[in-house]
Amino acid sequence: MLTVLSALAEPTRLAAMRLLDDGAEHCVCELMRGLGATQSRTSRHMRVLKQAGLVVDRRDAQWVRYRVNPDLSPAVTRLLDAALTLDPLADEVRA
Whether the per-residue pLDDT at 46 is higher than 70: the answer is yes
Contacts of 94 (CB under 8 A, 6+ apart): none
Q: Is the pLDDT of residue 30 over 90?
A: yes
Confidence band, pLDDT 50/70/90 cuts, at residue 95: very low
**Domain coordinates in residue numbering, the chain:** 2-82
Amino acid identity for residue 24 in this structure:
A
**Looking at residue 87, what is its pLDDT?**
65
Write down the architecture of domain 2-82 according to CATH: Orthogonal Bundle (1.10)
Residue 89's pLDDT is what? Answer: 56
Find the helix packing angle between 11-20 and 39-51, rounded to 10°.
Answer: 80
Q: Report the predicted TM-score, pTM, of the whole model to 2 decimal places.
A: 0.88
pLDDT band at 53 (very low <50, low <70, confident <90, very high): very high
What residue spans of 1-95 are helical by DSSP H? 2-9, 11-20, 28-35, 39-51, 74-85, 88-94
